[in-house]
């Protein structure tokens, strides 16, 4: 994110601060049927339209730190190995041996080739066959069928995208659009992957994204953890194509009042969240980056979640490692122990018959944009809006937004 954008966002935060309370607002209240969160048919539609054809974030660039690096990922049930060849180019290959289908890679690693753990056939990092043990027993094989199956992949602004089905090349710059323009100055490809945690939780995969789409729950759900650090008001939202960016002001932003405007920068004084449809939230948090991904489970009531922490440089000392581990443990305590635990309770409530719809308020513009974008990508009509709510004592302009 460049300096001009940071200063413009700081000015918008200042407008909210001068007003004393408030946050960016959308023009309408939006209603979403809760079948979007609990219907197996809706989930099937999502799988076909969101998790088969769209470019998905497979990793950030530091997951493949050097030529020869490889990393295994699962893209909604498709086992994939990402590789970086000697020239630095990233590829995505189905992690399925062309002999009898065993994985050719486990976890993350580095080397000249991928070796199947069953009978030892090996493949170059571009997916072509290297050595077929006992080759005469298998006769002649069409070279097109001998190598690992390649998926469209591209790397841009520190993000590795993969389309999970074979097809034409993927244009990462076009798909990421304005998000890439803001990520590029962060230099994510120079970061170091500190760690990743994985959970399976009883909640719809979208609820794990929803929890990041507004800041005003901080004063209640995170009263003891995040609220002392981050304002629950003054949040900004901008749509960036189907994606979006939420800025939550840290309380330290008040200290900028003493700093000349030309010298102000947003990054140390805000938590910046980019939503990359359909299932990724990338967060810049002062001195590190967090990557959250949510994948559908076996039913609408299950999600597979990952959280990764990327730090500016590889920690070298015990003290540095302890520092980042404490940070990592803390953010897992908050997101899993508070946000995802609450989301699981919400999912439970969706089956109670209490309501058919949920309402995304005017103070939750990122939430409405996210769900409208998903529906657009799924070929569904937009969500219904309710227009301006009536001005009652509970919604008068002076009331809390
Ligand atoms: S399944 Fe890979 S070598 Fe046999
Ligand atoms: Fe939260």
For the residues of 91-159, what is the DSSP string, one character each? EEEES--TTT---S--SEEE-SEEE-TTT--EEETTS-EEE-TTGGGG----HHHHSPPEE-EEEETTE
- Report the nearest atom of ligand 1 relative to the CA of 102: 1
The residue among 275, 284, 280, 276 whose CA lies nearest residue 250 is: 284
Q: Which two tokens stand for residue 322?
A: 């302890």
Q: Choose which residue among 79, 81, 93, 102 to substitute to test ligand 1 binding: the one with the highest number of ligand atoms within 8 A of its C-beta.
A: 102
Calculate what percentage of the chain has a pLDDT beyond 90: 86
Q: What spacing in Å lies between the alpha carbon of 102 and ligand 1's midpoint?
A: 6
Ligand sitting nearest the alpha carbon of 342: 2
pLDDT, mean of residues 373-380? 97
Q: Choose which residue among 98, 100, 131 to substitute to test ligand 1 binding: the one with the highest number of ligand atoms within 8 A of its C-beta.
A: 100
Ligand sitting nearest the alpha carbon of 331: 2
Residues in the chain: 401
- Report the nearest atom of ligand 1 relative to the CA of 98: 2
Q: What is the pLDDT of residues 257-284, one digit of tens each?
A: 888 887 888 999 999 999 999 999 999 9
- Report the nearest atom of ligand 1 relative to the CA of 101: 1
Q: What spacing in Å lies between the alpha carbon of 114 and ligand 1's midpoint?
A: 12
Q: What spacing in Å lies between the alpha carbon of 334 and ligand 2's midpoint?
A: 7
Nearest CA, atom 4, ligand 1: 119
pLDDT greater than 80 at residue 391: no
| Residue 240: strand, helix, or coil | strand
Q: What spacing in Å lies between the alpha carbon of 109 and ligand 1's midpoint?
A: 19
pLDDT greater than 90 at residue 394: no
pTM surpassing 0.85?
yes
Q: Which residues line ligand 1 (CB under 6 A)?
A: 97, 99-102, 116, 118-121
pLDDT, mean of residues 284-305? 97
Q: What spacing in Å lies between the alpha carbon of 282 and ligand 2's midpoint?
A: 14
Ligand sitting nearest the alpha carbon of 211: 2
The strand pair at 192-201 and 303-311 is best described as antiparallel
| Residue 82: strand, helix, or coil | strand
Q: Which residues surround ligand 2, an ion (CB under 5 A)?
A: 339
Burial class (CB in 10 A: 0-12, 13-18, 19+), 43: buried
Q: What is the pLDDT of residues 186-224, one digit of tens each?
A: 999 999 999 999 999 999 999 999 999 999 999 999 999
Q: What is the pLDDT of residues 28-41, one digit of tens each?
A: 999 999 999 999 99
């Amino acid at each position: 994110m460049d300096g001009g954008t940071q200063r413009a966002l700081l000015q918008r935060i200042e407008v909210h601060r001068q007003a004393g309370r408030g946050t960016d607002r959308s023009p309408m209240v939006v209603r979403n049927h809760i079948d979007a969160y609990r219907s197996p048919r809706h989930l099937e539609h999502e799988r076909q339209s969101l998790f088969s054809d769209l470019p998905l974030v497979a990793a950030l660039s530091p997951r493949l730190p050097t030529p020869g690096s490889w990393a295994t990922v699962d893209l909604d049930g498709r086992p994939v190995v990402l590789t970086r060849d000697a020239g630095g180019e990233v590829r995505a290959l189905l992690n399925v041996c062309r002999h009898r289908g065993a994985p050719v890679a486990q976890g993350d690693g580095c080397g000249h080739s991928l070796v199947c753990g069953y009978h030892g056939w090996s493949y170059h990092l571009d997916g072509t066959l290297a050595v077929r043990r006992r080759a005469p027993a298998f006769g002649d094989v069409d070279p097109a069928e001998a190598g690992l199956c390649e998926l469209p992949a591209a790397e841009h602004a520190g993000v590795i995208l993969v389309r999970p089905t074979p097809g034409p090349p993927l244009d990462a710059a076009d798909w990421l659009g304005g998000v890439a323009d803001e990520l590029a100055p962060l230099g994510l490809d120079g970061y170091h992957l500190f760690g990743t945690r994985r959970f399976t939780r009883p909640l719809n995969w979208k609820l794990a994204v929803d929890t990041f789409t507004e800041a005003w729950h901080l004063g209640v759900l995170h009263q003891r953890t995040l609220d002392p650090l981050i304002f629950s008001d003054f949040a900004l939202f901008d749509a960036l194509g189907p994606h979006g960016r939420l800025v939550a002001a840290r309380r330290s932003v008040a200290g900028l009042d003493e700093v000349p405007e030309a010298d102000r920068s947003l990054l140390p004084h805000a938590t910046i969240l980019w939503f990359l449809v359909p299932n990724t939230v990338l967060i810049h948090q002062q001195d590190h980056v967090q990557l959250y991904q949510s994948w559908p489970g076996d039913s609408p009531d299950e999600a597979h979640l990952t959280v990764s922490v990327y730090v500016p440089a590889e920690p070298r000392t015990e003290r540095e490692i302890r520092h980042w581990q404490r940070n990592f443990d803390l953010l897992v305590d908050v997101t899993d122990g508070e946000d995802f635990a609450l989301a699981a309770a919400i999912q439970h409530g969706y089956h109670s018959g209490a309501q058919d719809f949920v309402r995304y308020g005017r103070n939750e513009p990122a939430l409405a944009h996210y769900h409208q974008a998903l529906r657009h990508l799924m070929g569904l009509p937009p969500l219904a809006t309710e227009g301006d709510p009536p001005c009652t004592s509970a919604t008068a302009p002076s009331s809390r937004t």
